[in-house]
């Protein structure tokens, strides 16, 4: 049975105070965190590609094996309040975890605000049906998959 979440819980608690259900509900399902990112060694700027993790489901924008993601993909960053604060530079600017860590509110299209799980897709925030699996892109072609302007 699914636990009912308090209305606007994210406005009343710090990231560290969230229950597991609240933490998971913050994910808007955009899929951007599952994209391969490339960092410029000279500038430190992070570029997003349209290359998705091998576990990423391009239609649902969810991990195909969420429970075992870290074991199956060792470089997967499991988000916690600590890793959010440490990894904030590579996280999408629209990410609820990043927004809350930086003191901002959620966007109107976020499913917790809109009440509609499809709103992230309808607002064209997600990467649904816009990715290529990592196993289809040779390493020397990754730069060809940089998304203009980043995310």
pLDDT digits (tens, 9 = 90+) for 93-124: 999 999 999 999 999 999 999 999 999 999 99
**What pLDDT does 4 receive?**
82
Question: In this model, does residue 128 exceed pLDDT 60?
Answer: yes
**What pLDDT does 148 receive?**
67
145 and 133 in contact (C-beta within 8 Å)?
no
11-20, 40-49, 52-61, 74-83: segment of lowest average pLDDT: 40-49
């Amino acid at each position: 049975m699914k636990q009912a979440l308090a209305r606007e819980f994210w406005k009343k608690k710090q990231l560290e105070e969230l229950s597991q259900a609240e933490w998971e509900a913050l994910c808007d399902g955009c899929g951007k965190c599952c994209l391969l990112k490339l960092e410029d060694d000279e500038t430190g700027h992070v570029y997003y590609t349209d290359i998705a993790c091998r576990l990423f489901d391009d239609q649902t924008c969810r991990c195909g094996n969420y429970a075992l993601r870290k074991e199956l993909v060792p470089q997967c960053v499991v988000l916690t309040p600590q890793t959010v604060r440490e990894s904030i530079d590579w996280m999408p600017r629209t990410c609820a975890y990043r927004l809350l860590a930086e003191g901002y509110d959620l966007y109107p299209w976020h499913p917790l605000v809109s009440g509609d799980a499809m709103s992230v897709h309808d607002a064209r925030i997600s990467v649904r049906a816009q990715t290529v699996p990592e196993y289809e892109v040779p390493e020397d072609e990754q730069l060809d998959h940089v998304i203009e302007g980043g995310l």
